[in-house]
Amino acid sequence: MSELNRTHNPLARSWVASANVAGTDFPIQNLPFAVFKPKDSDQDMRGGVAIGDQVLDLKALAASGCLADTGLAQKALEAAAQPCLNTFMAMGPQAWQALRHALFDLLEQSTSPALQARVQVCLVSQSLVEYGLPARIGDYTDFYTSIYHATNVGKLFRPDNPLMPNYRWLPIGYHGRASSVLVSGHDFHRPAGQILPPGQTEPVFSACKRLDWELELGVFIGKGNALGHAISLDAAEDHVFGICLLNDWSARDIQAWEYQPLGPFLAKNFATTISPWVVTMEALAPYRTAMERPDHKQDDVAYLKSEHNSQQGALDIQLRIGLRSESMRAAKTDTHWVCQTSYRHAYWTLAQMVAHHTVSGCNLQAGDLLGTGTLSGPTLDQAGALLELTEGGKVPLTLPDGQQRTFLQDGDDVTMQGWCEKAGAARIGFGECRATVLPALFQK
């Protein structure tokens, strides 16, 4: 696990003025990675790092020679400058840290004016760029790590037995669809599939009528493991490059008909939206905290248990999600936030997800994506899905203009945000994860 160092100093300031503005997601203590290009251009994608309201173009920086004499940092920079971050991710923690520390030094306030000038020409306003997926995602696995979400959903279908007996023993997951993972800002069409109407015995083919969001985090794997060789719990985070926001859109009515006995399929494979910025594990070091379990269970199976993971394995990442309807946007009404929670409430940690995923001998690869599952908190206002917030569609949400929602309607624009904040540490943000629901291509 990353330890605190000079890059976490809350008093550090950048010569990029916007990085020092209170409330910014991207101070010098963050330096998250993305892939971008100038907006509406035919240029190739390249790696970038956020600093204030700017993007540091890593391709331009590599060509500038500013890190030419830094050895590993320069090699890491050349890898991170490519059109996707897989090669850089595969280099491992030493390379990630070498580059992040070198960039910190270039952007820190005391950097010489001459060096500042060389770096300044590599900056591009975030308002002038468009983003791609951070990596080629070879595989995507979505987990179910919130006991509050699992219990809330379970109560809707099994009031007397909401939580399955295996839940407290292993991090449950299913294999998702990597090809339909989209970067924030890419809208998607409402899915269609088989639905079993209430009271009927035969399904109909229809556009989804119970479209939902799921408030999650995405975990990008860095250095992989060989087939047959499991990753131990305390080594797991050496294989994690960083974290992004993730919205695992869900067609609840399609899911209800198809999920037994093998789990979700069409209900989940039509779209998953992630934020462009990947915040490194090192940047998140000040926000580590102890695992938080309402049942205080400590007798995990050996490969999922360690004192270090128990005491420092959780992360206090604040998350919120909200929507703007088409009419709200026309009236210039701000996003209506309906849920705020924290990743610290997860029953299973990030390291436990990685250790469990590989204990069978499964080989993870650089750029693979893991989802945490919906991250609900202990109270209903911290529920990370409409299915929970509306109690299965029985209790509608009321929007500022009086409209109501049980599930998403066409034209709804959904936004997620994430950040870490506490006294004695710099605020670290994730940017946003956003998409609009378009009408189904199939209409009935």
Active-site residue set: 149
| Cβ within 8 Å of residue 424, ≥6 positions away | 10, 286
Q: How many Å is the maximal CA-CA distance in the chain? A: 74
Residue 52's nearest CA partner among 33, 25, 79 is: 25
Token pair in block for residue 90: 């595969």
Give the three-state DSSP class for 267.
coil
Report which DSSP code applies to 21: S
Residue 381's nearest CA partner among 194, 161, 148 is: 148
Q: What CA–CA distances, in Å, run from 376 to 152, 320, 379, 433?
A: 9, 10, 8, 17
Please answer whether residues 375 and 216 qualify as being in contact, where contact means their C-beta atoms are separated by less than 8 angstroms. Answer: yes
Residue 408's nearest CA partner among 430, 443, 440, 373 is: 440
Please answer whether residues 81 and 47 qualify as being in contact, where contact means their C-beta atoms are separated by less than 8 angstroms. Answer: yes
Calpha distance 94→100 (Å, rounded): 10
Q: What CA–CA distances, in Å, run from 317 to 286, 287, 346?
A: 11, 8, 11
Q: What CA–CA distances, in Å, run from 356 to 224, 233, 241?
A: 14, 8, 18
Q: CB 110: neighbour CB atoms within 10 A?
A: 8
Calpha distance 275→407 (Å, rounded): 22
Calpha distance 161→163 (Å, rounded): 6
Calpha distance 358→168 (Å, rounded): 19
Residues in the chain: 444
Tokens 């173009």 belong to residue = 57
Please answer whether residues 217 and 275 qualify as being in contact, where contact means their C-beta atoms are separated by less than 8 angstroms. Answer: no
Calpha distance 250→24 (Å, rounded): 31
Report which DSSP code applies to 303: G
Q: What CA–CA distances, in Å, run from 109 to 116, 247, 387?
A: 9, 36, 47
